[in-house]
Amino acid sequence: MYDLGVPIPSKKAHVVRNIKEVSQAQREKMLKDTEYSMFSFPADMLILDFLSDSGTSTMTDLQWAAIIHGDEAYGRNRGYYILLDAIRDTFERGNQPKKVINLILSGETNVDRLMNELYLNSFEGGFVNGGVHQLKRPNAFIVPQGRCAEYLLFSTIAPILKKKYPKKEFYIPNNGHFDTTEANIAAVGLHPVNFFSANLFEEFPIDKINLTNPFKGNMDIKGLKLFIEKEGEETIPLIYLTITNNTAAGQPVSMKNIKEVSEIARLHDIPLFLDACRYAENAYFIKEFEQGYHNKSIPTIVKELFSYVDGFTISFKKDGLANMGGGLFFKDKGVFHRKFSGDGDIGIHLKEKQISTFGNDSYGGLSGRDIMALAAGLYEVVKEPYLRERITQVRDFAKKLSQKGVPVVLPPGGHAIYLNIDKFFAGTDMKIEDFGGVGFTIELLRYYGIRACELGPFAFEWDNKSPKEREGILNFVRFAVPRNVYNTNHIDYAVAAITELYQNKEKIPKVKISRGAKLRLRHFQSGLLPLYK
Binding site for ligand PLP (CB under 6 A): 54, 145-147, 178, 180-181, 242, 246, 275, 277, 315, 317-318, 326
Q: Which residue number has the CB closest to ligand PLP? A: 146
Residue 52 Cβ, how far from ligand PLP at the closest point, in Å?
8
C-beta of 105 vs 193, nearer to ligand PLP: 193
Min. distance of Cβ 180 from ligand PLP in angstroms? 5
What minimum distance in Å lies between the beta carbon of 249 and ligand PLP? Answer: 12
Q: How far is the CB of 480 from ligand PLP (least distance, A)?
A: 9
In the complex, what is the shortest distance from the CB of residue 51 to ligand PLP, in angstroms, rounded to a whole number? 12
If the CB atoms of residues 248 and 438 are measured against ligand PLP, the closer one turns out to be 248
Among residues 147 and 351, whose Cβ is nearest to ligand PLP?
147
As measured in angstroms, the least distance from the Cβ of 30 to ligand PLP is 26
Q: Which is nearer to ligand PLP, 390 or 399 (CB)?
A: 390
Q: Which C-beta is closer to ligand PLP: that of 79 or that of 146?
A: 146
CA distance 471 to 196: 14
How buried is residue 32: exposed, middle or buried, by Cβ count under 10 Å (0-12/13-18/19+)?
A: exposed
The smaller minimum CB distance to ligand PLP, of residues 55 and 527, is found at 55
The C-alpha atoms of residue 60 and residue 376 are separated, in whole angstroms, by 9
C-beta closer to ligand PLP: residue 246 or 484: 246
Nearest to 148, CA basis, from 108, 171, 181 = 181
For CA atoms 238, 239, 242, 248, give the dihedral sign. positive
Quote the crossing angle between the two packed helices 255-267 and 221-231, to the nearest 10°.
10
What are the backbone angles phi and psi of residue 245, rounded to the nearest 5°?
-85, 85
CA of residue 309 relative to chain centroid, distance: 18
The three-state (H, E, C) secondary structure of 128-170, written as one string: CCCCHHHHHCCCEEEECCHHHHHHHHHHHHHHHHHHHCCCCCC
| Nearest to ligand PLP of 54, 235 (CB atom) | 54
Are 387 and 304 contacting, i.e. CB atoms less than 8 angstroms apart? no
Q: Are 131 and 122 in contact (CB under 8 A)?
A: yes
Nearest Cα residue to 328 out of 54, 452, 144: 144
Handedness of CA 332, 336, 342, 347 (dihedral sign): negative
CB of 252 to ligand PLP, least distance (A): 13
Handedness of CA 297, 301, 306, 312 (dihedral sign): negative
CB distance 143 to 351 below 8 Å:
no
Residue 54 Cβ vs ligand PLP, minimum distance, rounded to whole Å: 5
